[in-house]
Structure 1
Amino acid sequence: MAATSVQSLSVLLQRSTVDDHEEIVKACNAALKKSKRDIEVQHVKTVALLKLDRFEDAIRVIEEGGDALKQRAPLEWAYALYKVGKLDEAIELAASSAVGRGAKHVEAQAAYRAEAFHRSAEIYAALLAEEAELSQERNDLRINSRAALAQLHWTGQSSGVSEERPSREDLEAFETTYDLACGAIARGELDQGALLLRRAKELCKSSEDLAPEDKVAEILPIAVQQLYVALRLGKTEEAEQLAEGINVEEITELSTKRIAQSNLLLLPNAPSNPYLLHKQFHQTPKSTDSDKLFSFQNRTISANSHAIDLLVRKFDGVARSTEKVLSKQSAPTTSPDVNTLSVLNVAAHAQDVTPKTTLKKALPLLERRPQDVGLVLTIVQLHVTAGNVSSAISVLEAFFKLLDECISEADQDVRFNPGLVSILISLYQQQGRRHHVKTELAKAASHWQQRPHQSPSLLRAAGASLLHSSDTSDIKIASEIFAKLRETDPADYFATAGYVASHATTDPERVKSEADQLTPVQELTSGIDVVALENAGIPSTSTMAPTAPGLRRKRGADDKEPPARKRVRKSRLPKNYDPDKKPDPERWLPLRDRSSYRPPKGKKGKQRAADRTQGGIVSEKSEESSTTTAAPVSQPKQGGGSSKRKKGKGKR
C-alpha cells in the first residue's frame, strides 16, 4: 500500500502545474479507483478541491476517508467547514484538533464570520505578537486585525478593548486604510471616515500589485461605503455623483450588492412609486453561507424591507410576520433585532394613521406583551411626542416594577440596562425630579457593581449624582463607586476626582495623595474673569428643559415677550374707539365684580349688601321673605272622591 501511495503521488506531481488543480483531481480519481483507502491520494484530492473552491466536495471526500483522513487533515477540514458556513464546527475543530498558525488563522476567520469579534481580535493580536513567526503574514494580520476592531465598533462592543493608534504603515495600504475608515464611521466620526475612504480609493487606484479588473472589484465596496457616508451627512449631490459610478451588477459579493441596492434607493432620484421601489429592493437575492450579512447589517436591511412592505400597504403581512417572531420571546430582551420588530409591529397595527390613534392601537398590545422592551419604548416615545411626559414616566415605571419582581439575573440586567435607565432619568430631569434621578442611579449602580461586565458611564453618572446628597450613606456608595472605577482604570481622572470629593469632608487626610495628582484649582480658574462674571449677573435657571416636542419651558417675569398685537377689522370696532386709549382690562367682568364697582347708597342698598354677605348673621325677616317668595312645590292631591267631579253619562 505504501509503495502504491508513493507511486501515485509521483505521478500526480509529474502531471501537475501550479494552477492545474483540475488535472490533479482527475489523477486522484483514477488512483482511487485502484485503491479507495489511499489516504495520501485522498489528502491531495482534498487540497486540490479546496484550491478549486469546491468546499462541499472536499467535505464529502474527508467524510468518506473516515477518522484516519480527519486526523491527518484537520486544518483542511476546518477550513472547508468555515467556507460552507458551518462556523461553530469549524471553530471547535480549529481550536481543539488542529495545531499551528494555520489553525489559528482559520479559527480567527471563523470567529469573525460568527460575529465573535472579541475572540477574533484576541487571536490576531496573539499572532501579531509572535514577531519571529510573522514572515509574510504581517500585512494580512494587520488587515484582519483592523477589520475585527472595526466590527467591534459597529456592534458597540469596543469598550475595554485597547486599540493602537494608526501607524504610517496602516495609512499606506488601501486595505488597512479602509478598515480604519469603517472604524471611524462606526464611532460616528463621519467626516474622518469620508477622508479615509477617499484615501483608500486613491491608494487602490495607484496600486501596482492589482490587475485592472481587481482594482474595479476592490473599489466598488469602497464606493458603496462612501455612498452611505454621503447619505448620512445629507450630501445628496455628492451621493448622486457616487451612485453614477456604482454598477450593482458588477458587484460579485451578494451581501455588498444587497447593501448597495438598498442605499441607492435612498437617493432623491429614486422611484417615488412605492410598488416600483418594492420591486427594485427585492431584485437582489439573499446571500448565503460565508457571504451572509452581519446581524447589524441584516437588521437594517430587514427593517427597510418591512418599511417598504408598509408603504405598499401590506399591513397584515408585516403584523403576522413580526408577531410570529415576537411570540417566541418569553422574556424581556435588549436585542436590537427583536425590539426593531416591535416598532414595526406597532406601525403595522396602526396602518398609517396619526400618532394619537397609533397610541390607542399600541396600548392593547402592551397588555398582551407587557415585557416587550421595544413596545414599551415605542409607547414612551408616542407619549413624549404628544407632550405627555408624565404618562411616559408612568409606563416606564410600571415596566420597571414588573421586572423588579423577577428573580432572573438576565431580567435584572434588562431592568438596569444603561440605555433604559438613561431614558427614565432624562424624563425625570424634564420634570425636575432630582430625588428620583438620584434614587434610580443609586439602584442601578448597586446592581452593576455586583456584575463582572459593568457600565463605566452609568457608574460615573451615579457617583456624581450621589455626591450632591447630604445623606452619609449616599456619600459612602459614591465612594465605593469611584474606588471601583479607579481599580478598573487608574488613569481615569474623573474617578479620582470623585473619590477625592467623596472623602473631602469626612477624611481629607486619606485622599491627600490623590488630590495632589489632580490639576490645581488655581490653574483651572486662571483664565476666568471674575469681574466680568459679577457684572454679567446670575443667569436665570429653570427645572424644565424644552427637549421634548410639545413641551414649553416656564418663563420668568423678566423673560416674557410682549404678545404680538392682532389686527382687528374696523367693522368690529365701536364707533367711539380710540386706539391710543388703553381699554379697561375688567371690561369683560360683570359690573358688580369690577374693582371700580360701588354698591348703591341708601336703605335698600345696605340691605342688599347685607344679604349678599357670606357668613354673616341671617335675620328672621330675610329668612321669612325668602320662604314666602319661594315657588310652591306641587304635591299630589289626596283623599276623597268628593273632590272629584262625576263624569256625565256616556262620557269617557
Structure 2
Amino acid sequence: MATTRESNLTTLYVELNRFGQNGEYERALKTANKILQNFPDEEKAFHCKVVCFIQLSRFHDGLKAIVNQPKLSGDLVFEKAYCQYRLNQPQEALKTINSVTQLSLKLKELKAQILYRLERYEECFDAYRDITKNTTDDYEDERETNLAAVVANLCLEGSNKDIPQLRDHTYELSYNSSCQLIGRKQYNEAEKKLKVSEKLCRESLEDDGTAEDEIEDELGIIKVQLAYCLHKQGREKEAQAIYTAALKQKPDDIGLVAIASNNMVVINKDQNVFDSKKKMKSATSEGLEHKLTSRQRKNIALNHCLLALYTNQGEQCQQLCEKLVSTYPDMAAEAALIRATQLAKDGKAKEAAVILDKESKHDEEKKLAMKLAAVQLLLAEGDRKEACRVLQNLGEATFKPGIVGALVTLYLADGSRDGASKVLKDAVDWYRKNKVSTGDLGTLWRQAADFHLRGGEPAVAAKSLEELLRINPGDKKTLAQLVIAYAQFEPAKAQALSKQLPPLDFTQNTDVDALETSNWMMGTKVIKKAAAKVEPSPGSKPGTPGDELIQKKKTKRKRKGKLPKNYDANTIPDPERWLPRHERSGYRKKKDRRNKDVGKGTQGAATGASDQYDITKMQTQQSKVSPNPNSPIQLETTGPRQQQRKVQQKKKKGGKR
C-alpha cells in the first residue's frame, strides 16, 4: 500500500512539473490540490499551489492560502510579500520582508521595488546600488533601468545625493535619462534625449516583429513626456497637438491618460472650459492612486481646484480646497490662496484677507506671499489702514526695502506724514542695530535722509547719511548733506566734518567772463541784453561801438523773379490780366436765344459783381488792427486742415485742352 501511494505521488508530481513547464497553471493548480488532498503535509505541492495563484494573478487567493496554512508556508516569505505588494499593500509587504534577518537576492529586489512604491527613493537608491554591485547575471539592464528611474525621481525632489552616470543605450535608459534632465529643468536637452529614445524604441520593437498598434502604445509615454518638455519651453501648440494625438490612441494605461488630460487642462487655463471639464474627469478617475506618484496626484487635485475657480463654481471650489487640505496638508497655503481668490471674486475681499492672514500663521515659508496677497485684496477694497497694519506685522520682513517703500507710500496717501516718518525711523534703527546686509541699501538710506531733511528732522536724517557714508566713504554729496544736517542741531560737529570737503578755488583756470555769459542760470534774452551793453573800446567815439563789436549785417539774397518769354518792358501790363476771360471788357458774349437779359458771370454771382473783383475799381481801405494790449486774444477754433487733392480735368477725345 505504501509503495502504491508513493508511486501515485510521484506520478502527480511529474504531471504537476509538466503543467508548470508548459505554462498550464490552471491544470497545475488542480494537480497541486489533488496532491494536498491525499498528502496534506506536502510543502512542495503547497508551494506550487501558491505559485500557480501568483501566475494566474489571483494574489488574494495566494495570500489567503499562505495565511491559512502557517505550517506549510513558513518559508514562503517572498511569495507572501509579493502578493501583498501586488494587492497594493506595500507597508505590510515591507514588514514581511523585514521579518527576515538574511535577505536573498530576490527579496532584496522586491524590497527595492516596495521602497520605490512607497516613494522612499533614497533608501531605494541604496538598495539598487548594493544589488548592482554584488550581482552579475542576465538582468543587469533591467536593474540599471530601475536605478535610472530612482535617480530621475531623486532629481525631481532636488536631492543632493551623489548620483552616478548611467548608460543610455536602450530606449528605457534613454527615457529615464531624459527624466533626470527634466528634474534639473534642462528641458531642451531632455527633448533631444526623448527623440533618441523614441527612435530606439521603434527600431527595437520593429526588429522584434511587434505590431504597429503595440508600438504606438509603447511610444505613448515617450511622446507625452516630449509634449511636457515642449510645454515647459513655451511651445504650447506643439505640446497640445501631441497630447491630443496620444489621447486619440486611447491607451490602456490610465495613468498616461490622466497625465495627458491634466496637462491639456493646464494649457487651456480659463479658455475652453467644457473641454477642460471632460479632461479633468479622466484625470481624477478611480484607480489612479496606485498608478501615479503622490506629487502627480497632488498637482492634479490642485488643478481641479483652479478649474473650479476659473468656471466660477464657488461652492465646489471651496469643497475641493477643503478636500485638498485634508488629503495633502502641505498644500494648505495654495488652497487658502485659491479660496481667497474665489471669495474676492464673490465680493468678499475682507473675508478672503482674514483667511490668508489666519493661514499665514501656520506656514512660515509662505507667510510673506500670503500676507502680501491679503494686502492686495485690502487695497482693492480701499482699506489702506488695515493694509498698513498687515504690512507692519510681518516681523523682520517689514524692514525689507520694498515693504518699507510700500508703507511710506500708503501713509503719505493717507496724509499721515508722521506714520511714514516712523516707518523710516524704525527701518534705519533696525538696520543699524542688526547690521543685516540685504543687497544695496543705498537707495533706502538716501530716501530716508531726504525725507527727514524735508520734514525738519535733521537728527534722524543724519543717521541715514552716516550709514550711507559708511557704504560710500568717498561720496562728497553725502558728506555735504551730512554737514548740512549737523549744522542744524550740532554746529561743532558740522564744522569739524566740513574740513573733509574739498576747497573751493575759483581763481585758477576759471574764465569769469565765460561764467557770466553762460546760460546755466540766465536765459538767452538776458545774455543778449548783457552783450548789447558792452563798454566801448578805448579811442573810439562816444556812442559808437568798438571795432570788436562791429557785426556785418547778414543780407538775405533775393532771387530774381521769372518773366514770360514774350515780356516787353516798354508796354504797360493789361490791368485785367488777373480776371477770368469771360469777365474782361473785350470778351464777346454769346447771344442767349431764350433770355437776352440774362448775363453770364461767375458761378453764383450776379451781373456786375465782377466790378468788385476788378483791381482797378477797388477802393483802398485802411484795415489796421488796433494795437491795444488789453483786447482779448482769439484762438483758432479749427485745427490743422488736411491738404486737399487738386482735381484734374480729363482730356476729351479730339477736343482742345
**CA 1:306–1:180: 2 relative to 1, 3 Å:** same
Where do 1:4-15 residues align within 5 Å?
7-15=11-19
CA distance in 1, matches of 2:362, 2:284: 35
CA distance in 2, matches of 1:257, 1:391: 47
Cα deviation for residue 284 of structure 1 reads 5.3
CA distance in 1, matches of 2:373, 2:278: 32
**CA 1:103–1:16: 2 relative to 1, 3 Å:** closer
Deviations 1:88-143 (CA, angstroms, capped at 9, x unpaired): 1212222332721111111111111111011111111111221xx22112111211
Quick check: 1:361 aligned with 2:365? no
Quick check: 1:72 aligned with 2:75? yes
Q: Which amino acid aligns with 2:250?
A: E
Match of 1:202 among 180, 199, 204: 199
Where do 1:84-483 residues align within 5 Å?
84-97=87-100, 99-130=103-134, 133-156=135-158, 158-159=159-160, 161-166=161-166, 170-207=167-204, 208-209=207-208, 211-212=210-211, 213-247=213-247, 250-267=250-267, 272-283=271-282, 286=285, 288=287, 291-323=290-322, 326=325, 336-351=330-345, 358=349, 361-364=352-355, 366-367=357-358, 370-372=361-363, 376-382=367-373, 398=393
CA distance in 2, matches of 1:438, 1:77: 67
Cα deviation for residue 183 of structure 1 reads 1.2
CA distance in 2, matches of 1:441, 1:136: 63
Gaps of 5+ in 2: 407-423, 441-474, 478-631, 637-657
Deviations 1:584-633 (CA, angstroms, capped at 9, x unpaired): xxxxxxxxxxxxxxxxxxxxxxxxxxxxxxxxxxxxxxxxxxxxxxxxxx
Normalising by structure 2, we get a TM-score of 0.55
**Which residue number in structure 1 is paired with residue 530 of structure 2?**
none
CA distance in 1, matches of 2:214, 2:137: 25
Where do 1:531-550 residues align within 5 Å?
none
CA distance in 2, matches of 1:293, 1:50: 24
Question: Are 1:428 and 1:437, in contact at CA under 8 Å, matched by a contact in 2?
Answer: no
CA distance in 2, matches of 1:364, 1:254: 37
Question: Are 1:343 and 1:375, in contact at CA under 8 Å, matched by a contact in 2?
Answer: no
**CA 1:66–1:249: 2 relative to 1, 3 Å:** farther
- Secondary structure in structure 2 of the residue aligned to 1:246: helix
**CA 1:300–1:321: 2 relative to 1, 3 Å:** closer
Cα deviation for residue 384 of structure 1 reads 7.4
CA distance in 1, matches of 2:434, 2:350: 27
Normalising by structure 1, we get a TM-score of 0.55
- Secondary structure in structure 2 of the residue aligned to 1:72: coil
Question: Are 1:177 and 1:197, in contact at CA under 8 Å, matched by a contact in 2?
Answer: yes
**CA 1:128–1:240: 2 relative to 1, 3 Å:** same
CA distance in 2, matches of 1:26, 1:73: 20
Q: Equivalent pairs: percent with the same residue?
A: 19
> 426-435 vs 254-263, which deviates more?
426-435
Gaps of 5+ in 1: 330-334, 402-420, 443-460, 466-537, 541-573, 579-652
Question: Are 2:174 and 2:193, in contact at CA under 8 Å, matched by a contact in 1?
Answer: yes
**Which residue number in structure 1 is paired with residue 577 of structure 2?**
none
**CA 1:290–1:299: 2 relative to 1, 3 Å:** closer
Deviations 1:19-60 (CA, angstroms, capped at 9, x unpaired): 322322232234344445543222112212222332222212
**Which residue number in structure 1 is paired with residue 633 of structure 2?**
575
- Secondary structure in structure 1 of the residue aligned to 2:139: helix
Cα deviation for residue 64 of structure 1 reads 2.0
**CA 1:135–1:200: 2 relative to 1, 3 Å:** same
Question: Are 1:5 and 1:40, in contact at CA under 8 Å, matched by a contact in 2?
Answer: no
Q: Which amino acid aligns with 2:354?
A: L
CA distance in 2, matches of 1:5, 1:24: 14
Question: Are 1:315 and 1:351, in contact at CA under 8 Å, matched by a contact in 2?
Answer: no
Quick check: 1:83 aligned with 2:74? no
Question: Are 1:149 and 1:183, in contact at CA under 8 Å, matched by a contact in 2?
Answer: yes
**CA 1:322–1:281: 2 relative to 1, 3 Å:** closer
CA distance in 1, matches of 2:252, 2:48: 29
> 225-234 vs 286-295, which deviates more?
286-295
Question: Are 1:393 and 1:424, in contact at CA under 8 Å, matched by a contact in 2?
Answer: no
CA distance in 1, matches of 2:344, 2:330: 21
Aligned pair count?
A: 418
CA distance in 2, matches of 1:263, 1:286: 15
Q: Which amino acid aligns with 2:65?
A: V
- Secondary structure in structure 1 of the residue aligned to 2:185: coil
- Secondary structure in structure 1 of the residue aligned to 2:223: helix
Cα deviation for residue 263 of structure 1 reads 1.8
CA distance in 1, matches of 2:229, 2:181: 11
Cα deviation for residue 344 of structure 1 reads 2.6
Cα deviation for residue 223 of structure 1 reads 0.8
Q: Which amino acid aligns with 1:95?
A: N
**CA 1:429–1:225: 2 relative to 1, 3 Å:** farther
**CA 1:271–1:378: 2 relative to 1, 3 Å:** closer
CA distance in 1, matches of 2:236, 2:282: 24
Of structures 1 and 2, the one with the larger relative CO (CA 8 A, separation 6+) is 1
- Secondary structure in structure 2 of the residue aligned to 1:371: coil
- Secondary structure in structure 2 of the residue aligned to 1:204: helix
> 174-183 vs 275-284, which deviates more?
275-284
**CA 1:49–1:367: 2 relative to 1, 3 Å:** same
Deviations 1:249-291 (CA, angstroms, capped at 9, x unpaired): 63222222211122234446x9945345313420456353883
